[in-house]
A and B are shown apart, each in its own frame.
Chain A
Amino acid sequence: MNNKQVSRRDFLKASAVSGAVFSLGFYLPGSANNAEIISVAEAENYGIELNAWIHIETSGKVTIFSHRSEMGQGVYQAIPQIIAEELEVNLADIHVVFAKGNLKRYGSQNTGGSSTIREFYKILLNLGASAREMLLQAAAGSWGVSKSECYAQGGYVFHKPSGRIESPKRLHYGQLVEAASKLTPPKDYVLKKRSEYKLVGKPLLRLDTPFKTNGTAVFGMDKVLPGMLYAAVERNPRLRGKVKSFDDSQTWKIPGIKHVIKVKMVVFDTYREGIAVVADSTWAAMQGKKALKIEWDDSGFEHLNSEEIYKRQNLALQTQEGLSFKSQGEASEIISASANKIDVVYETPYQYHGCMEPMNCTAYYQEDKLEIWGPTQNPDMVQEYISKDMNIAKEKIIVNLTFLGGGFGRKSFMDYPHEAAVISRQIKAPVQVVWTREDDATQGPFRPGISYRCEGVIKDGKIDAFKYRMAGQNNMHWLTGKKDAVNGSTSEGFLKPYYETIKNLSIRDVPFATPIPTMWWRSVYASTNGFAFESFMDELAADAGRDPLDFRRAHLNDERLHLLIDKMENVSGWKDKKKGEGYGTAITECFSTTVGEVVKVSRQADGSIKIDQVWVVMDCGWYVNPDTIRAQIEGSIVMGLGAATMHEVRFIDGKAVDTNFSTYQMPRITDIPPIQIHIMENDEVAGGVGEPALPPFAPALTNAIFDLTGKRIRKLPFSLASV
């Protein structure tokens, strides 16, 4: 098994040499719903760009082109697992090659939104099955028997009636590739039933793990090119300003400094300037950067403090109706007429992605081309943006993916590849730009901190009216330029079946802007919306005097959700709560997956709150690898724990002030509660698994604390030591 990157043309050349003759791929003429499966030769004839394909050589070696960047969520494993299932080969015989960034060729490669498996699993199953059928046909042809008498297993085709049971007639795939390559992909084959799966749904070990235990996995910063220099950049600390002047006299005293230049990088619709110090080692560049004296030009935008941001958001929530995302019935009327309404505000903090691998990118600009190597979640966007901004034809920009040392949404942004490209062009040499941890922690983009106002009225134990307004930076306003249009961010996380039962309902977005660059962060808006929705649901249940799980049940006419709630109740011992224990729950939806969590807490002798147990029940529909799912859930809980109880990005005078892990505290091994995980078994459409377990954690925790102490926590983060 290997992990390489090559262009498709190189790949075809290489495979011709090694004697590969059978290959089958798919392309998407329209949407993911009508993928066409076609041989690579035919695709070449018609000039069709394939999205992904498999290749089988005469040696029997199977290679799969994976068109997604690996970010730790197991895509590297899942794609081969799905194809091998229908192709009937052993996982160990499969080699994976990452394809290079190219929008036209592979469709969107943005590895965000837990989308890989969701969008492509059916196509991949069909691709594997088509190839298998062609190999069966080829074998049947060579034996002069009917295809229906043959079956495939472990990289061989067997003939059932021949020989004794122990040694049926068989042909290795490698022996069949030539004949199979002359056939047309069939239309009439049957996919396996879930019960027949040998690989999908099984907790297989990941293929990439060994590279990560001996230091051989090549992350962005591990890329080395001949003659490569290292750069560190002092960027405007106010996130979008310019350089007025700079003094680099101290910098030049450091041995190894090669260039000191003014550079710029993109920040959404504007640029940020900085001074790049280029040297012969990372450390020299970092030292040189420290020695710079820079005067900044920060005119033309506000320099905000965190307090001011929240003050304004709250004021907006009290005075503005905002845009309507969904309105039904007479929510506002009922709420303003009620004497018993609940009217509360929730606050969620700005967050930093905090990838363990600080941002970095390697670029080499030459007269006729620009090549980039980097940990990116979004190679096609990088190519597209740089092409436009630097005026280089798209075909001349090659984006190579490395392993990512964390993404969480941050590495979908094209600021850091853009900056590396700009520097390489100026110094006419290959360069690796390395962000210091301090750069990484303070330069954004960040998850926006959102405030919510929730109002509701209970009548006869049920919700009579529900009104929800969010005020905060809406990434879609930035990204689409439609600052006054409502978008789906507003309701992310909310269980849509509530729309049926809450007749008087209003969900609104109060547009709000600051100069702070913001970006997706694991589970996107569900990560903050979920806290408001599910805390408020708990407040309403308490007001109605009802059990929080029963209360949710009563408002959900949905069998799948009822099964989920039953499971939560059973596994957590919800009904057997003992004295001194607090139980809390929350259920959210994210990327077509629903997750319900129950948290149990108690108070320690020193007054602090201890999380005794977390139960997670995930309904993600059809899934590939339960162990990957468990790993992702564990990770989501840990990240949610940090965001709820440990850290936030604080701004003073327009700058993020926490520069490293000394003050931006991360959860450590000593902070982790026991986590019990249950995955619902069904054949529903596959949902995401990498992010959806994060949103319910914070509200389940604060709801548990309410259950234990009677105290409502409406502002994150809070400290478990002093509730």
Chain B
Amino acid sequence: MTKMTLKINGSDHTLEADPNMPLLWAIRDLVGLKGTKYGCGVAQCGACVVHLDGDAIRSCVTKVSRAEGKQVVTIEGLSKNNDHPAQLAWQQLDVPQYGYCHSGQIMSAAVLLREKADPTNQDIDDAMAGNICRCGTYLRIRKAIVLAAELQKKTVKQG
């Protein structure tokens, strides 16, 4: 057991954890943020995607010790008012069905949208192929990313 401090969604959390514990379980069970989901534990499904210093990573295979001193952002911290362009697009197109995988889907999409202002179909495939949705909302995810890119441009202009 090691004492460590994690910076999650802008605030410091001091915990005592086995340094080998995956970041996923530290976030869920030790910090108590339940929006990040467990789906497979072996980097196959993307339900656990969070941002580590801005990269979309799979928290189920990332040791908690690797997150020390870095910025962790979870779905709860993606925006204050549930209004990141991806979140807005997801809402407008009613993307989720069961909704369990969409924390991870949105976190993956958010990085894509930051890197590409106008993602092509190929960009979307590349960024999203690691996220499984058992309800099969893929067609809507694709549409939502295109819409989010538009919303993003508008906010940039206004901002």
Contact = CB atoms under 8 A, between A and B. Distances in A.
Q: Do A and B bind each other?
A: yes
B100 A230 contact: no
A354 B134 contact: yes
A660 to B, nearest CB: 6
Contacts of B98: 71-72, 355-357, 403-407
B112 to A, nearest CB: 12
B117 interface: no
Given A281-B30, A631-B94, A631-B137, A214 B35 contact: yes
B120 interface: no
A668 interface: yes
A668 B131 CA distance: 7
Bin chain B's interface residue count.
35 or more
B104 to A, nearest CB: 9
B35 A667 contact: no
Interface string A665-699: 01111101011000000000000000000000000
A183 interface: no
B21 A283 contact: yes
A205 interface: yes
A356 B133 contact: yes
A283 B44 contact: no
A714 interface: no
B78 A214 contact: yes
B54 interface: no
A219 B91 contact: no
B33 interface: yes
B29 A283 contact: yes
With a 10 A CB-CB cut-off, give which of A213, A256, A283, A407 has the most chain B CB atoms.
Answer: A213
Interface in A197-227: 205-206, 208-219, 221-222, 224
Interface in A534-591: none
B52 interface: no
A432 to B, nearest CB: 10
A627 interface: yes
B35 A669 contact: no
Given A213-B106, A406-B134, A672-B138, 12 more contacts: A213-B82, A216-B76, A217-B99, A221-B38, A281-B25, A282-B28, A437-B40, A662-B42, A666-B132, A668-B132, A669-B129, A669-B142
Closest 10 CB pairs of A and B: A215-B35, A638-B136, A405-B100, A212-B99, A72-B98, A72-B97, A222-B34, A283-B25, A215-B75, A635-B136
Interface of B: 1, 18, 21-22, 25, 28-30, 32-42, 44-45, 47, 74-76, 78-79, 82, 87, 90-92, 94-103, 106, 124-125, 128-129, 131-142
Interface of A: 71-74, 205-206, 208-219, 221-222, 224, 230, 255-256, 281-284, 286, 354-358, 403-408, 434, 436-437, 627, 631-632, 634-639, 660-662, 666-670, 672, 674-675
30 contacts: A206-B94, A209-B99, A214-B75, A214-B78, A214-B79, A215-B33, A215-B75, A216-B35, A255-B18, A256-B18, A281-B25, A282-B28, A282-B29, A283-B18, A284-B18, A286-B41, A355-B100, A356-B39, A356-B45, A356-B100, A357-B100, A408-B134, A437-B41, A631-B137, A634-B139, A661-B44, A666-B45, A669-B124, A669-B125, A669-B129
